[in-house]
Amino acid sequence: PTGSLARGLAACEASCGGERRKLFFCEVEQWDSDEPIPREDLEQGMAGAHGLLCLLSDRIDKKLLDAAGANLKVISTMSVGVDHLALDEIKKRGIRVGYTPGVLTDATAELAVSLLLTTCRRLPEAIEEVKNGGWTSWKPLWMCGHGLSQSTVGIVGLGRIGQAIARRLKPFGVQRFLYTGRQPRPQEAAEFQAEFVSTPELAAESDFIVVACSLTPATRGLCNKDFFQWMKKTAVFINISRGEVVDQDDLYQALAGGQIAAAGLDVTTPEPLPTNHPLLSLRNCVILPHIGSATHRTRNVMSVLAADNLLAGLRGEPMPSELKL
């Protein structure tokens, strides 16, 4: 049955390396580790493969596609983001692509709100004060942060995840939602009475900014020195999209110089972030290890969908979720 076959395939990080087994009509080579497959092993294992199930940590470029050869007809990625895939090269070769949008929306939106609250209310700092003896008595202004009630929230990218974030923030008493993107989305924005504005206007007027856009040539480096200079000194910046959307050197300068109040990041460049990175030295910067979709249910559903996409592609059937190239 497809379900049990999908569960077997979903354990694969890529269709190469390690254990080999026969599952109905296809043979699977599994990289049997939580750590990413070494590039050399991936290239060797791809030779002659018809399908690939990969993660966002696997860079699927021209060199790898050349190593795979003409047999490769489907790539299934266990992610909604596809910036790790050389889409132009993949399209040129007529290879189909499956991905996993929608199923991780709720988990990622929950994480975004959690990160925002953690950052704006300075929870990591407060926890550390309890542990190191800094908590001596109740003080009127000690550990004060910023609240959501009557605030303006700016969302960069009002797609599925951006809308889900706004939906969760609305009950906190947010007074005004702003959003920016490639074009206005009046139908989606109506639920929150969200206003479509320019990027400078969003940066300047928002008390909280949540970046939830896709990584594209237009958004790469979008949040840079100019962006942070437009922001209020009391504003909090959150990024749950991709690390490359943010110029991290500029973000560090903005945080260290008091140009903005705080930042929370679930994504960085590179990943993992080196433990000696300057951002990690700042008390007003909260960094998580890219755990937006990290709930047991979400990761299980993503795995099964990725496997079903791969199997459908191998059979030449419609995929449950295909990226149209």
| Residue-level pLDDT at 24 | 52
Question: Of 272, 227, 232, which Cα lies nearest the Cα of 245?
Answer: 227
Per-residue pLDDT of the chain (325 residues; tens, 9 = 90+): 233 333 334 334 333 333 444 445 678 888 888 888 999 999 999 999 999 999 999 999 999 999 999 999 999 999 999 999 999 999 999 999 999 999 999 999 999 999 999 999 999 999 999 999 999 999 999 999 999 999 999 999 999 999 999 999 999 999 999 999 999 999 999 999 999 999 999 999 999 999 999 999 999 999 999 999 999 999 999 999 999 999 999 999 999 999 999 999 999 999 999 999 999 999 999 999 999 999 999 999 999 999 999 999 999 999 999 999 9
Which residues are designated catalytic? 290
Asked if residue 32 lies in contact with residue 18, where contact means CB atoms within 8 angstroms, the answer is yes
| Residue-level pLDDT at 235 | 98
| Residue-level pLDDT at 134 | 96
Q: What is the largest CA-CA distance in the chain?
A: 69
> Which domains occur in the chain, in start order?
7-101+295-323 (3.40.50.720), 104-287 (3.40.50.720)
For the record, the structure tokens of 252 come out as 């560090």
| Residue-level pLDDT at 3 | 34
Sequence-ordered alpha helix ranges (H) in the chain: 2-10, 39-46, 62-68, 87-92, 105-120, 123-132, 160-169, 186-189, 199-205, 225-230, 248-256, 296-315
Distance CA 214, CA 83 (A): 9
| Residue-level pLDDT at 163 | 98
- Count H helices and E strands in the chain, helices first: 12, 13
Distance CA 188, CA 117 (A): 24
